Amino acid sequence: MSLISDQSPASDATICFTEEQEALVVKSWNSMKKNSGELGLKFFLKIFEIAPSAQKLFSFLKDSKVPLEKNPKLKSHAMAVFVMTCESAVQLRKAGKVTVRDSTLKKLGSVHYKSGVLDEHYEVTKFALLETIKEAVPEMWSPEMKNAWAQAYDQLVVAIKSEMKPSS
C-alpha cells in the first residue's frame, strides 16, 4: 500500500489517481446520480450547519426569507455544484486533469475570489462532501473510497484556486 495518497495534492499537474480510485468514485457516483438534487441540497445544508457564516458568501441567500431547504436558488445551485464535483471526479483519471471547461473554471475562480472564499471554506466543503457521500452510499463506503473522493475534490480545488484572481 502506498502512502502517497495520504499526502496533500501536488501543486504540479501530475495526478496519481489510480484505476481503483476511479472505480470507487464511478461506482458510488452511479449509485448517487439519480438523487443528485436531494444530495446536493444535503451537501450545502451540511456546509451551513458546520459554518453558518458561509451563507454570507451566496448573494442569493442574503435577503432571502425562504428556509434554506426550500430555497429554489440554493437547490439548483447545490445540485449544479454537486454534479460538477462528482462528474469532475469521475473523469479525473481518464482525462489526467480536472475536466471542467476553462470558461467555467475561470468563472468559478473569479466568483470564489470576489466572494472572499478562503482555504478553510474548502476544508469545510470537503468534509461536507465526504459526509454526504458516506451517508448516500453507506454500504460502499470505505477508507479507500473516502481517500479517492478526497483526492478528486482536492484536484478540483487546486484547479479553482489557480483561477482565483480578479476577473479582467
Per-residue pLDDT tens for 88-145? Answer: 888 877 777 676 666 667 777 777 778 878 788 889 999 999 999 999 999 999 999 9
Cell digits for 126? 470537503
Task: Give the whole-angstrom CA distance, residue 36 versus residue 29.
Answer: 9
Task: Give the whole-angstrom CA distance, residue 57 versus residue 149.
Answer: 24
Task: Give the whole-angstrom CA distance, residue 121 versus residue 117.
Answer: 6
Q: Of 30-34, 114-118, 128-132, 146-150, which gets the smallest average pLDDT?
A: 114-118
Q: Which of 158, 25, 16, 156 is nearest to 81 (CA)?
A: 156
Domain ranges of the chain: 18-161
Identify the three-state secondary structure at position 79.
helix
Q: What single-letter DSSP state applies at residue 13? A: S
- The pTM of this model reads 0.82
Count Cβ atoms within 10 A of the Cβ of residue 74 and give its class: 0-12 exposed, 13-18 middle, 19 or more buried: buried
Which CATH architecture describes the domain 18-161?
Orthogonal Bundle (1.10)
Rounded to the nearest 10 degrees, what angle do helices 36-50 and 72-95 cross at? Answer: 100
